[in-house]
Amino acid sequence: NLFNFSEWTLSSSILTISAALSCILTGFIINKIGRRGAMLLTLVPFLAGWLMLIDPFNPSMLIIGRMLIGIACGGICVSGIIYCCEITENSTRGTLRSFFQLLITSGILLAYILGAFFNPQTASLICGIIPILFGAFMFFCPESPTYLIMKGKQKEAMKALKSVRGEGFEVSSEISELQKEENIRKSKSISEAIKWKSSIKSMLLCFGLMFFQQLSGINVVIFYSSEIFQDARVGMAPEYATIMIGVVQIIATFLAYLILERFGRRLMLVLSGSLMAMCTLVMGIYFGTKDRDESAVDGIWWISLLALCVYIAAFFFGFGPVPWLILSELFSTDIKGIIVPMTGTFYWTLAFVVTILYPPLHEILGHSTCFFIFTFFNILGIFFGCYLVPETKGKSLKEVQVGE
C-alpha cells in the first residue's frame, strides 16, 4: 500500500542494476583481498539491506534495502563462480556449478514460502539470518589456491588445495600447473590477452548466452509470478502456485546436478531452449484467448500453470546453469578476473532492463504479446546454442580456455 506504480516497478528491478554495478567493483576486489575475502565482504550489504527491509517506513528505505542486497548478490555472482571454478577438478565442474544453482533456487523457494506464510518483517528477519550462517561457514573455508599462487604463497596454496581435495591427495602436479599459468599471466598484460581474437570471440559468445538467457523471460516469471498467475485466473491462490514454481526449480536444478556431466552443454541448451519456446508460445496463446473471451479459459486454467512449470524446469536444467558454466570454462586465469565481472554486469543490466520494462509493456501490449516476444528470443537462442556454442564437457581448462 506504500507504493505507486513507478515505485513498485523500481523496487522490483533495483536489485538487478545494483548487482550489475557490483560485478564491476568485485572484479577488482577479488584480486586484492581474494575470492574468499570478497565473499565475506558481501555480508556487510547483505545484513544492512535485510535490516532495512525488516521495517521500512517509506518506499525509499525499501528501495535502498533492495539495492544493498543487489550489491551483495552481484558480488557473490562473480566471486562465487570464480572460487568454485578454481577449487574444483575438471570432472566435477559441471556438477558443482549445478549445486551452486541448486542453492540459488532453494533461496528463491524459501522467499516464496516466507512470502506466503509470514509477514514481510518476519520474512526479512529470517532472510537476514542466512548471510550470518554463510559467513560462519565461509570463515572456515580455504582461500582459492589460484589466488594464493598469484600472491606468491605456494605453501599456503598447497595447504588450501589439500583441504579441498583431501590430505591423502597428491597436489604437487596441480600446484605446478597453477604456477605455470601464473608465469604465463605475468608475461603478458591483461589488455593484450583480451584483445586476442579468440578472447573477443569467446567474450561475445558469453554475452550472447546471457542475452538469450535474460530475453527468455525468466526473471519476469520469477519476479512477477504472483501477478501472472492472478491475471491467468489460476484456480488456486497465486502464492501457492508460486511455491509450486519454486519446487519445480529445485527438482529441475537437481536433475541438472545429476546429468550435466553426462550430456553435452550444447545439447542441454538446445533441449532447454526448445521446451521454453513451446511453453512461452502456449502462454501467449492462453493469454490471447483470455483477452478475447475470459470465459474461454475458465476450465483450462491448469494449462497456464503447467506451461510455466515446464518452462521453469526447462530453464533450470539448461539455460540457467550452462551459460555460467561455459563462462567459467572459456577463459584463462589471467583474464577471467576481468571477463567474469564484465559478463556479470551485462547479465544483471539485461535483467534490470527486462524487469523494469515488463510492467509498462504488459500494460500497453498485454501478457500475450510479451510471451510471444519471449518465444521469438527463445527460438533464436536454440539456433545460437546449436551452431555457435562450443562443446566443453569433460575437457580440461587448458583445452577449452581460449586465452591459453
44 falls in which pLDDT band (50, 70, 90)? very high
What is the pLDDT averaged over residues 20-28? 88
The model's pLDDT over 108-146, given as tens digits with 9 standing for 90+, comes to 889 889 988 998 889 999 999 999 999 999 988 999 988
C-alpha cell at 22: 557490483
CATH topology of domain 5-154+197-400: Growth Hormone; Chain: A; (1.20.1250)
Domain locations in the chain?
5-154+197-400
What is the pLDDT averaged over residues 155-179? 81
164 falls in which pLDDT band (50, 70, 90)? confident
Query: SS in 3 state form for the chain?
Result: CCCCHHHHHHHHHHHHHHHHHHHHHHHHHCCCCCHHHHHHHCHHHHHHHHHHHHCCCCHHHHHHHHHHHHHHHHHHHHHHHHHHHHHCCHHHHHHHHHHHHHHHHHHHHHHHHHHHHCCHHHHHHHHHHHHHHHHHHHCCCCCCHHHHHHCCCHHHHHHHHHHHHCCCCCCHHHHHHHHHHHHHHHHCCHHHHHHCHHHHHHHHHHHHHHHHHHHCCHHHHHHCHHHHHHHCCCCCCHHHHHHHHHHHHHHHHHHHHHHCCCCCHHHHHHHHHHHHHHHHHHHHHHHHHHHHCHHHHCCCHHHHHHHHHHHHHHHHCCCCHHHHHHHHHCCCHHHHHHHHHHHHHHHHHHHHHHHHHHHHHHHHHHHHHHHHHHHHHHHHHHHHHHHCCCCCCCCCHHHHCCCC
Position 382 pLDDT exceeds 90:
yes
pTM: 0.78
C-alpha cell at 165: 581435495
What is the pLDDT averaged over residues 315-333? 81
What is the pLDDT averaged over residues 7-24? 83
Tell me what pLDDT residue 257 has.
Answer: 73
Tell me what pLDDT residue 371 has.
Answer: 94
% of the chain beyond a pLDDT of 70: 87
